[in-house]
Structure 1
Amino acid sequence: MANKGPAYGLSREVQSKIDKKYDAELEERLVAWIRAQCGEEVGAPEEGKTGFQNWLKDGCVLSHLINSLYGANPKPIKKVASSGMAFKQMEQISQFLGAAERYGVTKTDMFQTVDLWEGKDLAAVQRTLMALGSLAVTKDDGCYQGDPSWFHKKSQENRRDFSDEQLKEGQSVIGLQMGTNKGASQAGMTGYGRPRQIL
């Protein structure tokens, strides 16, 4: 990867807006969850955005995280190995993203590999990890470690089955959303085009 120089003009403004979305408090919560989920062997990042990026950049911490959410089931990422080569690190991140999608994280909540590896949009990385944590809390399969209040539960399907008789009863009721014409009259209305007489 070639090193890029400083951004100017519109590029700088866009990058500045993206950087402002990064949440330092959320970083602390995510680090605490990852360490609770994976154990102390994943270490801890240096404080700040760059430390957070460098901690996750090789993809190993992310791979351990997604593997820990599968419990006794077969692990989605078979080989987790640290490497100094850029393409190996990016491949490890891509494997995490694929496993997270299979776990249930939607495509719209996913970050791109370069968002993390090049540090382009670390707020997107935070969004992905938040979505993953929310799914883990919602599944409640015993694999989630940490404080459940760190993430909100996602809404779940609440299917209802009505009998044909109940459905027919519902068709005969006129809901208040339809409105009412009781008490409506045209008393005091004037014809079109004529001014209203105020005495």
Structure 2
Amino acid sequence: MANRGPSYGLTREVQSKIDKKYEAELEERLVEWIVVQCGVDKPAPGKIEFQNWLKDGIVLSELINSLYGDKKPIKTIKKSGMVFKQMEQISLFLKAAETYGITKTDMFQTVDLFEGKDLAAVQRTLMALGSLAVTKDDGCYKGDPSWFHRKSQENKREFSDEQLSEGKNVIGLQMGTNRGASQAGMSYGRPRQILNNP
């Protein structure tokens, strides 16, 4: 990890906008859920403490393993002081979360957490993970289900061949209608004449 000095100008503005997306109330709810789900110690409140708590990837790995039930996707979870090992642990979490069903657009990048670039993205990923766990309802989710919203479910419908053929005879309202149409009162004017001038 490079040692960076203070940022100025546009870089500072962009980072300021990213930092404003971070929600302290959401942090509280996520910490409470992770503590209940994994049985880990609760960190002190605050953005920096939240980052340091998740930064080594251990808590995240415990979290994703607890959602899988018996089949643990991350076989070995080792605490390490080496930066590349910690980043590798975060990458293992992200891979397991994607396998669990989190979309790529909901995922944070490793540097977002490790370097604290975008902790709001980390919150969004954890929210998506919690929502998916509540929606799956497979018995692995622990905690209050009202902490997360349920994702929409498929509502598949089956139609018989007779119903499908009936539907072909109906003109949908998007097609328009000719009911009440007439040409009464329409004035067309004189037809255009072509003059041949010699």
Q: TM-score, normalised by structure 1?
A: 0.90
C-alpha separation between the residues in 2 aligned to 1:186 and 1:47?
74
AA partner of residue 49 (structure 1)? K
Describe the SS at the equivalent of 1:131.
helix
Structure having the higher Rg: 2
Aligned residues: 189
Q: Unaligned regions of 5+ residues in structure 1, if any?
A: 193-199
- Farther off after superposition, 9-18 or 182-191: 182-191
Cα RMSD, aligned residues only: 1.4
**Unpaired stretches in structure 2, ≥5 consecutive residues:** 190-198
Quote how far apart the aligned CAs of 1:156 are: 1.8
- What is aligned with 2:36? 36
The one-character-per-residue Cα deviations of 1:48-67 (angstroms, maximum 9, x if unpaired) are 11111011000000011001
Distance in 1, Cα, partners of 2:87 & 2:120: 18
Question: Alpha-carbon deviations, 1:64-92, whole Å to 9, x = none?
Answer: 10010011x22111111211111111011
Counterpart in the other structure of 2:196: none
1:77 counterpart residue number: 74
Question: What letter is aligned with 2:89?
Answer: Q
Partner of 1:45: 43
Q: Which moved more, 1:117-126 or 1:170-179?
A: 170-179
Deviating 4+ runs (over 4 angstroms): 186-192
Structure 2 length as normaliser, TM-score? 0.90
Matched residue, 1:142: 139
The farther-off stretch of 111-120 and 177-186 is 177-186
Q: How big is each residue's C-alpha offset from its partner over 1:135-159, in whole Å with a ceiling of 9 and x where there is no partner?
A: 1001100000001011111112222
1:69 alignment partner, SS class: helix
Counterparts of 1:109-188 in structure 2, within 5 Å, are: 109-188=106-185
Q: After superposing the two structures, state which structure 1 stretch, 164-173 or 175-184, moved more.
A: 175-184
Supply the distance in 2 between the matched residues of 1:157 and 1:94 (Cα, whole angstroms). Answer: 30
Greater shift, 152-161 or 117-126, is seen at 152-161
> Which residue of 1 is the match for residue 57 of structure 2?
59
In 1: Cα distance, 2:62 partner to 2:19 partner: 27
Percent of aligned positions with the same letter in both sequences?
80
